[in-house]
Amino acid sequence: MTDMDGCTIDVEFGGHKIPVLAGGYYDRFRSNPDLDAIARDPAAGNIDFFRRIPKQKIESRIGPVWAPNFYYRSSSVQLLMPAPVSRLKAILPEPLEPLRACPGYGLVALTFFSYAVCDNDPYDEASIAIVIRRPGAWGPHALELAAAIRRRSFHAHVLALPVTTEISRVRGVECYQLPKWLAGISVTIGAEVRAATQAPDGTPDLTLRAPAPDFVDVPSQSHMGANTMIHQIAGRWHRTTVRSNTLSFAQRMLPRDVTLSRHGGPMSDLLGGLGVARPLRLDVVRDAQLVLNMPEPFTMPGSG
């Protein structure tokens, strides 16, 4: 499954032959772009944010790769939903712990991403993740949650991460050991917000619809955030940080006009198994820049 409309060529990546856009960013730069050339692309917009972040060649499970990965233009739609802590604990690997939003309930984030301009060429992605306590954190959950909201910095464990292109799938599985597979995904932010995923066989999985919210546009680097995925690679704990420079966004608490339909695919079944309730919050990002770092190993507090 791919969202590529142009001609493709096969490139070698980690021992795999992968189709990418002929003449696209990956074909031209192999994840180590000439930022002056990117700046001349009108679709990329202002890229000054990325000029102060050096790329490095880093060893990975499949050999050296350039990192971090740059996402010059992206958008997303996210629903934050409560779910019983008992269900979340049953699926989280120990010693990860759900961050409680209220007694007996944690939080599940369903997010649809659209990456219009990035180092790996355009693709879409969907995610189901459990918001977790920061490893080593202690004290009241309410204080940790309030601090995470204030800093726009959450920790999460990703359960599902389908994507629309083979290079994003292979990179995510081989370098990050994330649960990625190919699926049809669409994200539209216009007069109405729409997002959808398909099951691997092409049948509908999840669909989301909501009226377009009122957006706030902010100057670059005035609304920064940093979320961290906690996951295992080859049996060892790693953390992967995604830094965000949000430029246009909207947020609504307790939205009552959001329609999330489940059609029986893997994402629908996963949400059903987690027992998610009505959304607590709708976040729509119309324009953002992202920096995806490579996983770094760490020692889980309390281990050993």
Q: Dump strand ranges (E) for the chain.
A: 8-13, 16-21, 56-60, 63-67, 69-84, 105-118, 123-132, 155-160, 185-189, 192-198, 204-211, 216-217, 224-233, 236-253, 259-262, 281-292, 296-297
Side chain identity at residue 103, one-letter code: P
Q: What pLDDT score does 5 carry?
A: 56
CATH, domain 70-297, list 2.30.30.280, 3.90.1150.10, 2.40.400.10, 1.10.3470.10: 2.40.400.10
- From residue 173, give the alpha-carbon distance in Å to each of 13, 61, 83, 167, 197: 12, 10, 27, 10, 19
Phi and psi, residue 206, nearest 5°? -120, 145
Rounded distance between C-alpha atoms, residue 118 and residue 204, angstroms: 27
Residues 13, 170 contacting (CB under 8 angstroms): yes
The predicted model scores a pTM of 0.95
Domain extents in the chain: 70-297
**Of 83, 127, 87, the residue nearest 108 (C-alpha):** 83
Question: Along the 304 residues of the chain, how does pLDDT read in single tens digits?
Answer: 444 556 999 999 888 899 999 999 999 999 999 999 999 999 999 999 999 999 999 988 888 899 999 999 999 999 999 999 999 999 999 999 999 999 999 999 999 999 999 999 999 999 999 999 999 999 999 999 999 999 999 999 999 999 999 999 999 999 999 999 999 999 999 999 999 999 999 999 999 999 999 999 999 999 999 999 999 999 999 999 999 999 999 999 999 999 999 999 999 999 999 999 999 999 999 999 999 999 999 999 865 4
Q: What pLDDT score does 3 carry?
A: 45
Rounded distance between C-alpha atoms, residue 81 and residue 52, angstroms: 36
